[in-house]
Amino acid sequence: MMKKILLVASLAGASFCANAQVSKSTDDLQKSLTISGKDTVCWVHSGVFTVGINEGFLHNWAAGGEIAALAVNSVFHGNLTHYHHNLVWSNNLDVAYGLNYAYSNGFVPRKTEDRVDFTSNFGTRIKNSKDFYFAGLFNVKSQFTKGYDYSMNGWERNPTSDLFSPTYLTLAAGIKYDKNDVFNLFFSPLAARDIMASSRYTSLSAAGAFGIDSGKNSKFQLGAYFSGRVKKKINKNLLFTTRLDLYSNYLAKDTKDASGLTVKRDNPGNVQIFWDNLFVLKAYKNLSLTFGLTLAYDNNFPYSSTYVDKVSGLVVNKDQPGGNLGWVQLNQVFTFGIAYKF
């Protein structure tokens, strides 16, 4: 639904341009502004939606394997930007969702990807500057459905996440460098962030999941924030987009569990990292190859002083592997399917 709203809004807004030389295409807009240097009042949009299906079937196969399996993956990246002389309002929506169905578990769908990420950035151009703005930014990161650790006994009774749990809200003010949706950077020395988790599952709040203190459902942070985005057409058939987010929490400190013991060590130097990459290669007409790679590091997540043992299903008061430094999270997807760019 969200992508439909974004597409309709962008198509409607793109029809309004005060400068006849400016097209609704982001690429044409960049060329026009670069050559003429004129101000403009215009909506522009860009985006790509991909969906792919992988299927496999075996019968009496001597080497063995999954009898039948089906995987579905979809990714949407969209941008809607409004230029109004010295003002720019940019909105980015990134959505990804994937499911895997296998005969061995009765074709009960298992989630392989689940992410919704929306950023809205409003800025006013700094006097005598072409591409620098004073700007404010709002970002929300979350997910649509429950998540599980499928290697755990009784995993269906112990979700590791839930609908909009966790949700990360970031509100920041700073300086933005904007190059017409092709290359932009944002830095804020003062960015507020709130991490929220559902209270539906007491095991999550009791364990202090997602960096939230044990027994609570939210965590306030205040720190420095950097976000950079690049969109590059390597050639007419290959599109590459990348995004890097960094966050340092000024309020980071040691925390204690319910017994009063220190369970982890944290400090502002433990920078939270989110790096997202997407390659879309056009194979034939709307057929494409999509490769996505996301790396994340957060000293607070998924570290916890208590966790559910995968064998016994009991809550154990022991540090998870990775210790005080947590670990790098990796998400990689390769899909052959249909791609639609606009």
Q: What is the pLDDT along the chain (342 residues), one digit of tens a residue?
A: 434 433 434 433 333 333 333 344 555 555 454 434 456 788 888 888 999 888 888 878 887 888 999 999 999 989 999 988 889 999 999 999 999 999 988 898 999 889 999 999 999 999 888 889 999 999 999 999 988 878 777 778 778 788 888 899 999 999 999 886 688 899 999 999 999 887 665 555 555 667 777 777 888 999 999 999 998 888 888 999 999 999 999 988 766 555 555 555 567 888 899 999 999 998 888 888 889 999 998 876 654 444 455 555 554 444 444 444 456 788 888 888 888 887
Determine contact, residues 19/41, Cβ cutoff 8 Å.
Answer: yes
Length of the chain: 342
What is the predicted pLDDT for the residue at 187? 97
Determine contact, residues 27/12, Cβ cutoff 8 Å.
Answer: no
What is the predicted pLDDT for the residue at 305? 45
Burial 114-153 (b: 16+ CB within 10 A, else e): bbbbbbebbbebeeeeebbbebbbebebbbeebeeeeebe
Q: Class assignment of domain 44-341? A: mainly beta
What is the predicted pLDDT for the residue at 330? 84
Beta strand 183-196 with 167-179 is antiparallel
> Measured on CA atoms in the order 57, 62, 65, 66, is the torsion positive or negative?
positive
CA–CA dist 309, 253 (Å, integer): 27
What is the predicted pLDDT for the residue at 156? 80
φ, ψ dihedrals at 67, nearest 5°? -60, -45
Q: Alpha-carbon dihedral of residues 63, 66, 72, 75, nearest 10 degrees?
A: -60
CA–CA dist 188, 207 (Å, integer): 31
φ, ψ dihedrals at 252, nearest 5°? -60, 135
What is the predicted pLDDT for the residue at 22? 37
Tell me whether residue 311 is exposed, middle or buried, using C-beta atoms within 10 angstroms of its C-beta: 0 to 12, 13 to 18, 19 or more: exposed
Closest by alpha carbon to 77, among 137, 148, 134, 26? 26
CA–CA dist 163, 143 (Å, integer): 6
Per residue in 267-290, pLDDT (tens digit) is: 788 889 999 999 999 888 888 888
